[in-house]
Amino acid sequence: MEHPLAAPHGRFESIVQKLRDNGHKITPQRLAIVKILAKSDGHPSVETIHTQIKKDFPTMSLATVYRSIVLIKSLGEVLELGFPDGSNRYDGNKPFPHPHVICVRCKKIVDTVPDSLDDMKKEVALETDFKILNHRLDFFGICSTCRERKA
Ligand SMILES: [Zn+2]
Ligand SMILES: [Zn+2]
């Protein structure tokens, strides 16, 4: 097993540091969760993270994984994407609001950073006279892998 501290850089270290600064225990199990969250490949669900963790920690329960994620979220180090069917997905790689593109077939979620985002925020604030604090912007579509599979 690759040592959790070996990868990935930046986000992993910041999340661990935040846990430490707030007096939380750094267990190997927790480090394994942080490692997955730091990458957030495809924006995993708690179930996906739990499945990956179980390979190294077979006795770890879904509830424990969930509690760790809630804790990291409370420290502002992970972005939670809630969906009406209750299938929350997580991004610890970019813990701030940003637009997402969601594949309706395989449910993969990827980040997108359109240049027009800042202009859009200004336009919305101007049009509604709101002070914008946050945003949630999802695009739904079919990813290239799923389109190829269909053909
Ligand atoms: Zn897809
Ligand atoms: Zn994201």
Cα of 148 from ligand 1 centre, angstroms: 10
- Least distant ligand from the CA of 94: 2
Cα of 3 from ligand 1 centre, angstroms: 31
Angle formed by the axes of helices 62-74 and 11-21, to 10°?
90
The pTM is what?
0.84
Dihedral angle over CA of 133, 139, 140, 141, nearest 10: -160
* Contact by Cβ (8 Å): 67, 112: no
Question: What tens digit of pLDDT does each residue of 6-36 get?
Answer: 344 599 999 999 999 999 999 999 999 999 9
Q: What is the mean pLDDT of residues 126-146?
A: 94
The token pair that represents 71 in the structure block? 């804790």
Question: What tens digit of pLDDT does each residue of 87-104 get?
Answer: 899 999 999 999 999 999
Question: If DSSP codes are grouped into helix, strand and coil, which group holds residue 139?
Answer: strand
Tell me the residue ranges of DSSP E strands in the chain.
79-81, 89-91, 100-103, 109-111, 138-141
Question: What tens digit of pLDDT does each residue of 39-56 get?
Answer: 999 999 999 999 999 999
